[in-house]
Structure 1
Amino acid sequence: MAAAIEDSALFREARGRGRVIVTEQPRIDLENYIASYVGPTRLYRYMHIASTSTFLALDALHAGIKEVKEGFNTAVYLQLVEMLAKVAPDDPLAEVDAEWMDDRIKMVKVLTDRLEGELKTYKNNMIKESIRMALEELGRHYMELNDYPSAIRSFTKMREHCTLPKHISEMTILLIQAYIHQGQWSSVMSNAQKVHQLSLGREEKARLSPVLDACIGLSQMQMRSYAAAARSFLAVDPAYIAVVRSDSNTGAGPSSAHNQGGLAASAGRHDFQRAILTPNDVALYGGLCALMGMDRAQLRAEVLSGGAPFRQFLELEPHLRRAITLFCGSKYAACLEILESFRPDWLCDVYMHDHVGQIIAHVREKSVVEFFQPFSCVTFDELARTFVPPPGVKIEDELVDMIQRGALPARIDLVDRLLIAPHTPPRQEIHAAALEMTPKYEHNLRLRLLRLNMIGAGLELKQPKGPHAVHVERPGVEHSVMADTQMVEGGDIYQPG
């Protein structure tokens, strides 16, 4: 069955676009994985998994179609049905339910007209708070319908009707969610930084700061600034985890919005920690970005140490914590083995899919450099045993590529099949150090000569003996003068010069 799905039109088109396809069976349990999320992100993750994993494609499409038909998102429904038709044309769900489509389109029109009518009434009454809330409901409604440009326009109009900094922060968080779903990462970062600059209360700031740091980290990761993303994710307060635990204790489930009977009462009503990024996502993204952008000393101090706040996030992903621990312990082969074993799972993540290959490849390069550093030469066979190359790639070709890019300072002996560290003679090192020190030494000498010349010319200012006297010494002349003083406001005395 998996082989037939792998050869389906959906995955043939994906390969044609250069998309990485997962043909191995992932470790994730689809139902438990999706249960961690609420709102539109559930549907997007269903679609991503269906277009990535040949093993989970059918299950993801069936579950996605069943869930989307409980709501009003006709656009995503059509996309899911089209994908299923390419994977399993004979599946009963692969045909568009025209009756459901007509019914939902009518219901959406009625609800949209009602929300717009309420907004118009509130505008006529000129009540700012009512207008703000009506615009918020309308924006959430558009988000549920996958109409993010309209949602962004509604949320932006809320700004002139916000009377408190708290209202501005709530409006900006909604804008950030819409921009994340659209993939406008520069807008996500700029809006998150705006909220950081607001004058909020202590409790409100403590609640929003972890969310904003997670948003900035996600946008930096999507823009491939992995070191900066690691810093942002490491700055996320562990209170981010407590929000999800308290939400799960209240019994809020993924379908609670539909049970409440309100279309706009879905993703926007839930915490950001379930609507966009869960604490497990923060642990995964932050751990991998830190593994790529930090050295071993930084990882020990800022990620693995008991006092590091991010250590609490890593407890949620023990395999990733173990991989980082192995890397810091110079057990590079075991670290890379864990990363490779979880590659299929991470490829099924909607935000990590495009970065997994680059991150693991960079960690592999760092491991090779760290492994080779204590030795003067290492055989190719030893390197191949420690760092098993990908299928169809020779270890020497990989080393040549690293040397040409400047990632590995070494030379290759193809006759004896050795990787040799560059030998620098001690005399050359001493000469290089002397040449580096010469400009600094010359600069210091020039400053000393300048000082001696100034003293010889009588330009030195000595410490005054009296409270307001300045002694001026010139060659052949020595006298004491009262310094010109000027009283300034507050009674202080200003001595010019």
Structure 2
Amino acid sequence: YLKPPTSFNMLTLFQGSVEPMQIDADPQDDQQNAPDTNYIVENPTLDLEQYATSYSGLMRIERLQFIAEHCPQLRVEALKMALTFVQRTFNVDTYEEIHRKLTEATRYLEVQGVQDTVPEGGVVPPPLDSAWAESTRKKALLKLEKLDTDLKNYKGNSIKESIRRGHDDLGDHYLDCGDLSNALKCYSRARDYCTSAKHVINMCLNVIKVSVYLQNWSHVLSYVNKAESTPEIAEQRGERDSQNQAVLTKLKCAAGLAELASRKYKPAAKCFLQASFDHCDCPELLSPSNVAVYGGLCALATFDRQELQRNVISSSSFKLFLELEPQIRDIIFKFYESKYASCLKLLDEMKDNLLLDMYLAPHVKTLYSQIRNRALIQYFSPYVSADMTKMAQAFNTTVAALEDELTQLILEGLINARIDSHSKILYARDVDQRSTTFEKSLHMGKEFQRRAKAMILRAAVLRNQIHVKSPPREGSQGELTPANSQTRMSTNM
């Protein structure tokens, strides 16, 4: 049963972090999982300049604006960097919006007299460059007219390759102007003029890029599947072809972002783990450090111990990503070594920086909760009983808080145990291994007996050359007569 959204507009559809149509869920669960968008980060340890250089195009501008929105300490610096970068584009509307935010931020600092957040050079914002804005608008309009005229000429000449490139050029220009809807239309129209698998892949990558900016995640996954099904990618997936690996890495990163946004953390982890470090060059989407953080946290939250060891710790490719983020690497290793106190402490230390990531921030609370629950389950799994006092020390918490956590895990069926609240001991529920083994053996014996009888029956049918008639199809034309419908059973086992 699908419940239609009660009220929305097209902009909400594009900007939402999940797909518009969803299966009905418990309202309480929705409230718990709903991300808090009004939080403030007080103590970031982010090198903003180095962070910004990891991205290009609209992604850099959007990430800097997100940081400015949630971190007062970095607000002015982030907006100044975004303002400088946006002047390299035709995106005048975004320039004016960022300048307005920067003016408000600096005015607020002056009124409050907050010295700690005042960047070098004071709090005076650069004046609004109206001449640049007017000139850029005119240049953008002239370029648009030229590209549109060129495209009409190409269509008049009926040259498919020229028409395809004309649509791509128009899409690039609209993207540079910040007009994402028209950019998406132009990139999509190029599909009808693709004459090779390479052209189809290029078209898919362009549509995926704009769909990520629009946060239209179902569209992202749809075009990732289209690109992966092209012969050039599908047939050579196993080969270490440099160009194909670069394309596959972009596709996996985009799919990982879409799965992450849809709260499908295990598929997201698998996508990020398939990225190739040597071919991870997609600053318009994310950085190699993002792959390490997103993939590492999603894997910790959803992988069991064997999967974590096989797919993350022993992965020669993902190890290279983890070298870029030593904290994530240490967290994964400490979790695997059952050093949960150190693991959770490191997670808390990097939480502020994670909350400044526009794609990860809505999921930090959920991922941290799942990682902690998995740690509790893994801690107790080898024991028949566990002292909750020692367990609380291992997890840097109080016995009362730990008891509440364990109660919830027991109610959800994640831990098969019972709590002695008086003695503060957690007991595993008694499982009669002898009876379980006998039941399993009897079940396997019955299954073997059933399969043996079926094989004997089939052998008897073949030996006696018994013919089987296929039932006639109702309403089908040119039905076979009973004589013609007889088929001899194959003698191949």
Bin of the TM-score, shorter chain as denominator length: 0.7 to 0.9
* Cross-structure match for 1:222: 261
Partners of 1:166 and 1:204 within 8 A in 2: no
1:94: how far off? 8.9
Can you list the C-alpha shifts for 1:399-422, whole angstroms capped at 9, x where unaligned? 222222222322222222232322
* Cross-structure match for 2:294: 285
1:448: how far off? 5.9
Partners of 1:85 and 1:95 within 8 A in 2: no
* TM, length-normalised to structure 1: 0.75
Partners of 1:51 and 1:57 within 8 A in 2: yes
Q: Select which of 136, 143, 148 maps to 1:104.
A: 136
1:329 alignment partner AA:
E
Which of the two has higher C-alpha Rg?
1
Distance in 2, Cα, partners of 1:217 & 1:234: 9
The answer to whether the aligner puts 1:354 opposite 2:393 as a matched pair is no
1:109 match: secondary structure: helix
**C-alpha spacing 1:495/1:53, structure 2 compared with 1 (3 Å):** closer
Partners of 1:296 and 1:327 within 8 A in 2: no
1:141: how far off? 0.8
Q: Select which of 270, 284, 287 maps to 1:275.
A: 284
1:188: how far off? 1.0
Q: Select which of 287, 294, 304 maps to 2:313.
A: 304
1:423 alignment partner AA:
D
* Cross-structure match for 1:235: 274
The answer to whether the aligner puts 1:66 opposite 2:84 as a matched pair is yes
What is the percent sequence identity of the aligned residues?
Answer: 29
* Cross-structure match for 1:184: 216
2:254 alignment partner AA:
C
* TM, length-normalised to structure 2: 0.76
* Cross-structure match for 1:47: 65
Distance in 2, Cα, partners of 1:83 & 1:410: 54
Q: Tell me the C-alpha RMSD between the 2 structures.
A: 3.2
Can you list the C-alpha shifts for 1:4-54, whole angstroms capped at 9, x where unaligned? xxxxxxxxxxxx983263433222200011012111111001111111223
2:231 match: secondary structure: coil
* Cross-structure match for 2:326: 318
2:266 alignment partner AA:
A
1:368 alignment partner AA:
L
Partners of 2:82 and 2:98 within 8 A in 1: yes
1:291 alignment partner AA:
L
Partners of 1:302 and 1:308 within 8 A in 2: no
Partners of 2:387 and 2:425 within 8 A in 1: yes
1:375: how far off? 2.8
**What pairs up with 1:152-163 in 2 under 5 angstroms?**
152-163=184-195
Distance in 1, Cα, partners of 2:400 & 2:71: 25
Alignment gaps of 5+ in structure 1: 1-15, 245-272, 463-469, 473-493
* Cross-structure match for 1:121: 153
Q: Select which of 391, 398, 413 maps to 2:405.
A: 398
* Cross-structure match for 2:8: none
**C-alpha spacing 1:317/1:496, structure 2 compared with 1 (3 Å):** closer
* Cross-structure match for 1:410: 417
* Cross-structure match for 1:264: none
1:364: how far off? 0.8
1:28 match: secondary structure: coil
The answer to whether the aligner puts 1:148 opposite 2:180 as a matched pair is yes
Distance in 2, Cα, partners of 1:384 & 1:459: 66
Distance in 1, Cα, partners of 2:465 & 2:251: 60
Distance in 1, Cα, partners of 2:88 & 2:425: 63
Distance in 1, Cα, partners of 2:197 & 2:350: 43
Distance in 2, Cα, partners of 1:179 & 1:329: 40
* Cross-structure match for 1:198: 230
Q: Select which of 74, 96, 119 maps to 1:56.
A: 74
Q: Select which of 240, 250, 258 maps to 1:211.
A: 250
